């Protein structure tokens, strides 16, 4: 029987590429996101024969998260792999100029949303004494950069939750690990800069950024290790990036 992976934020970027990677690796998929049309298009783009179920919810809405996941049809209800990927940066301002709505969005989506989804799935993993959780962190969860304040805080929280989950769940046979990318060219910067395409594009100019597929391939590797091997915390950056603030850009 195929294993089932549930991926949040599957409508774009890293989540979308991960869905394609895990489809190639023979998983059944539960794909989550707010943009139903994107998920439907992705479902048509997977390896033929991939069982797929789409879930539409905002991770901020804890009742909607619980309802959607508890209502999964029987064939998809046992989640073997959870990829906690949904998230974004909203804005990039010095702390005294930060927008409260941006702060709410980042804490509510990147931190509380990840917790709501985990709460809906982890108890069944504990009951089965089996499961694998992959939290998508960031280099922003390892170091803080100017104007990154609250986004970095949200990703440091993901780092702490990843460690906390592992401490609490290893005795139940559950694997927990984080994949922490540096700069990946996705819709991330368009969201961060609120649709300013030019500013978003400039983030990825002058060097070769990671692609969503680069990260998805790593997630494919992580999930395909033998049961006794847990990749606990992995950082991946473009070769041109040495830290959040040190990026070698060609003039
Ligand atoms: P994208 O903007 O391309 O994708 C973000 C995904 O998150 C979308 O599928 C979006 O789906 C989903 N999402 C956002 N808000 C919500 C919400 N409220 N409820 C449900 N789903 C939501 O960005 P990336 O692929 O780059 O980002 C994926 C993850 O990778 C994030 O956690 C990000 O922090 C992390 N990351 C990204 C890096 C980068 O440089 N791009 C580097 C390091 C980490 P929809 O809008 O349809 O709901
Ligand atoms: C996304 C990478 O450097 O924009 O998490 O924060 S960065």
Q: Which of 151, 204, 207, 248 is catalytic?
A: 151
pTM of the model: 0.99
Q: How far is CA 40 from CA 84, 145, 175, 176, in A?
A: 20, 37, 30, 29
DSSP states of 122-182 as a string?
A: HHHHHHHT-EEEEEE--GGGTS--TT-HHHHHHHHHHHHHHHHHHHHHGGGTEEEEEEEES
Asked if 142 and 100 count as a contact pair (C-beta separation under 8 A), the reply is no
Set out the domains of the chain in order of their start, with CATH numbers: 4-236 (3.40.50.720)
CB 117 less than 6 A from any atom of ligand 1: no
What is the model's pLDDT at position 85? 99
**What's the N-to-C CA distance of the chain in angstroms?**
53
pLDDT, tens only, 50-85 = 999 999 999 999 999 999 999 999 999 999 999 999
Q: Crossing angle of helices 62-70/114-128, nearest 10°?
A: 30
Burial state string for 194-208 with b = 16 or more CB within 10 A and e = fewer than 16: eeeeeebeebbeeee
Mutate to test the pocket of ligand 2, among 138, 212, 240 (most ligand atoms within 8 A of CB): 138
Two structure tokens written together for 25: 């690796």
- Residue 138 Cα: closest atom of ligand 2: 5
Residue whose C-alpha is closest to residue 188's, from 124, 106, 116, 80 = 106
pLDDT, tens only, 208-251 = 999 999 999 999 999 999 999 999 999 999 999 999 999 999 98
């Amino acid at each position: 029987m195929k294993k089932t992976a549930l991926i949040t934020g599957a409508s774009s970027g890293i989540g979308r590429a991960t869905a394609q990677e895990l489809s190639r690796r023979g998983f059944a998929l539960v794909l989550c996101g707010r943009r139903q049309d994107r998920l439907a298009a992705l479902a048509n783009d997977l390896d033929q024969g991939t069982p797929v179920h789409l879930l539409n919810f905002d991770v901020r809405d804890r009742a909607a998260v619980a309802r959607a996941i508890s209502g999964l049809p029987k064939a998809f209800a046992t989640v073997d792999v959870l990829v906690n990927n949904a998230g974004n940066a909203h804005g990039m301002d010095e702390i005294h100029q930060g927008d409260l709505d941006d702060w709410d969005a980042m804490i509510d989506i990147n931190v509380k949303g990840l917790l709501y989804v985990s709460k809906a799935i982890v108890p069944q993993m504990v009951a089965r004494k089996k499961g694998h959780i992959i939290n998508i962190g960031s280099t922003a969860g390892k170091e803080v950069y100017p104007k990154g304040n609250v986004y970095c805080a949200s990703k440091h929280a993901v780092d702490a939750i990843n460690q906390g989950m592992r401490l609490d769940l290893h005795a139940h046979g559950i694997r927990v690990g984080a994949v922490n990318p540096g700069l990946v060219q996705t819709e991330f910067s368009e969201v961060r800069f609120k649709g300013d395409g030019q500013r978003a594009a400039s983030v990825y100019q002058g060097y070769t950024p990671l692609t969503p597929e680069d990260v998805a391939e790593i997630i494919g590797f992580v999930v395909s290790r033998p049961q006794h091997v847990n990749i606990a915390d992995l950082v991946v950056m473009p070769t041109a990036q040495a830290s959040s603030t040190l990026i070698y850009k060609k003039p």
